[in-house]
Amino acid sequence: MRNLMTLITATSVALSSAVAAYAQTQNPLPKASDVLVRYGDDVEGWTVYANQTRGDCLIVRQDGPSSVQMGVTANQEVGYLGVFTKADIGLQNGAQSEIFVSIAGHLYSGVAITTSGELKGGYSGGYILTDDPNFKRDVAKQYEMIVFPETKGTFVVDLKGTYKAMAMGRKCLAQ
């Protein structure tokens, strides 16, 4: 645990005012009532959706008991990464906390509103809001992400194909 705290202190990402302001006002994840339409063919296990309700796009990957969603906020200034699992990760519904992910040895954190038991399929998790270009680059270029490193609920997410899926997501947003 001490290693985790040292790593968090040394590499924690400072949230910009844009991220903090957005986090206080809106949840970037699609709502159950949103109309999602598949955009193009799947890309290496990732599905791109156009959200016809909100006018944005997102990419989604389900890998065993975990699921990842990525997209941008309505103003497209801030990106989000939602990480979810069916495993018990000890989250309390609606609690605001930090969520950490480790990619290529870099630890990233973000403002998170945890969701548990409300998600379709029995998933629990939360999301990270960020405008950090290093985070975006690591997600696009690396092949594995460790979610909640060194905690009870640690799980690994396969990021294969993320670069191509993100490119398709940008194309979707441009239309």
169: pLDDT strictly greater than 90: yes
Give the E-state strand segments of 92-143 in sequence order.
96-103, 106-113, 115-116, 124-130
- What is the rounded average pLDDT of the residues 161-171? 95
The confidence score (pLDDT) of residue 1 equals 43
Task: Check if the beta carbon of residue 108 is closer than 8 Å to that of residue 125.
Answer: no
The 3-state DSSP class for residue 25 equals helix
DSSP string, 32-89: TTS-EEE-SS-BTTBEEEEETTTTEEEEEEEETTEEEEEEE-TTSSSEEEEEEESS--
What is the distance in angstroms between the CA of the first residue and the CA of the last residue of the chain?
46
Please enumerate in sequence order all residues whose Cβ is within 8 A of that of 128, keeping only pairs 6 or more positions apart, or say none: 80, 81, 82, 83, 99, 101, 108, 109, 110, 111, 112, 135
| More confident site: 167 or 125 | 167
Task: Check if the beta carbon of residue 150 is closer than 8 Å to that of residue 1.
Answer: yes
161: pLDDT strictly greater than 90: yes
* pLDDT one-digit tens code per residue, 45-94: 999 999 999 899 999 998 888 888 999 887 778 889 988 877 776 666 66
Other Cβ atoms less than 10 A from the Cβ of 84: the count is 27
The confidence score (pLDDT) of residue 98 equals 72
Place of tokens 């509103």: 113
Average pLDDT value for the chain: 77
10: pLDDT strictly greater than 60: no
Could you state, in order of their start, the residue ranges of all structural domains in the chain?
2-174
142: pLDDT strictly greater than 80: yes
| More confident site: 120 or 17 | 120
The confidence score (pLDDT) of residue 60 equals 94
- What is the rounded average pLDDT of the residues 95-118? 73
The confidence score (pLDDT) of residue 24 equals 42
